[in-house]
Structure 1
């Protein structure tokens, strides 16, 4: 697969990825790399990674706890302290190996340590490969509010090695599929058709689907790097989905939702609003809903939680002057940016998902 050129860095695939990494390490005379990983990637991915890099490189591993609940400033402080303890300097290189939580937090830590040191991302989940690999977003959550603190910062490169996907539980793999559904609904009917026919379950087809998804996101990001217009469309399903994810994250008595599982619900709800306000075709909405229910199962959202979920939506980054904004649809690949909807419409959408 050819490299994909993004904003001042390139995304490399499979065998080419490590060739380019080793060349970078050699050309920049790097003798030590600081690898950020969680307990899962430390066990399943780091051993693979170490076989792919030059034997002359010293690898110092910094471990963090997995899970969105640990994507916070407290974890950042611990990593900054560890970098200091390990004598990292402004010439150091951090390599973030993990899902979006690791690459988001690791990029933020590197970009702010000593006013910025270089970093490389190696996403190991399907979700992070098709989403966090492009766009240069780094950041962490503030309390239970998603990605409220962060900055745009380019990595030196991103490496996509799809062999890491073999280490994932099926639930994690499905979580990544939700972001691909988003690309299909908003930009590419052919891609959506591949997903709805479960082509992603075949590894060869999945490689092509990942590449196609990255191309879509990269095209959008190159046109609108700072998310002032077109790039907002990549948040389809996220206004409602992030609020649901945050609510469940903040209530340990409820079943934990993965990011993609929450976004899948958000896509159905925002699809319903689109149907009511812009005539998004009923048959396409129903097909989307049924595929999401088949893939993820139904999450029981108690009506008594609706008010709290709606309140969390007020903190969405896309909001303008306190008004909640949505990505809404006229049809597949025909969207409205900064759409508005009444609270009653959102509640109706949640009811549509649930019934």
Structure 2
């Protein structure tokens, strides 16, 4: 969760909050060029932990001669945008929080309305391979290199200089070859997955590398939404999803340089409601049944099979909710939802949300939070 000042939080939970949006124009090195205050007509922002490009935005600016939009102008495809959200406090001051650094992907200007529309995503677009971020030659990431260093090397090659990495002692387990058509971001995500870490861009435009959240019950909640109190919460739709529920896992490992290995994990417990005995076989083939080069021996394959069986013996409980905008959230936040109408009182991981902002106010924030419950 973004650390907002107490005055910002007080303004956010007040019955009436006046919202401001600020745009900082940056060059490729993210050096400050110009600030646009009061020019924002509308801003739509979304963040989703399941997307590689985690944060996206669209923005409409009123242009009263404050900026130029053209080749070599103040706003162009070679520039970056840092977005801020501000709330007016009781003293009349405006308190701001950052919402990310973005690349420009789409731009439309209208001389009649004197408006300009821009859209884009966070800096993962530097690595996603859509039209940037592919390897320029066959590349091999070598075995026994620290994973954090291998990721940092790839990011620096792609032009990144801002990092917020947590400690990680895991080494690259195997030589990893990539072709010139592969996205650099794929290699970085592969490495993060091998370490069981998350890799994404945060609200300050830093590339973050941190352990994946394994159990929400072990993490302190950053915000409580309660229908019985004024906590911004406006209600939710509760459901569960059995699409990824499996009771048998098959793992195959190996590559052209090693022998093929395999392992199976299965739940045959007649007292378990999701066992093969009670609901039949639901089989999960790890890596779509293809050999995983990172798995080189049977113990490793069995460990992965047992781990995946545990992961797929769970039912995600999903809450699609609405609330008055909470501008401090990030995907991955742990929140508490207390809703007597849905029989809910527990911690959840915030997966995604979207907010539509206008300087004269805005609508509800929509989002999705999940809690994975093990079936025993």
Which of the five TM-score ranges fits, normalised by the shorter chain? under 0.3
TM-score, with length taken from structure 2 = 0.21
Higher helix share: 1
- For normalisation by structure 1, the TM-score amounts to 0.22
State the structure with bigger RCO (CA 8 A, min sep 6), 1 or 2. 2
Larger Rg: 2
Q: Is the strand fraction higher in 1 or 2? A: 2
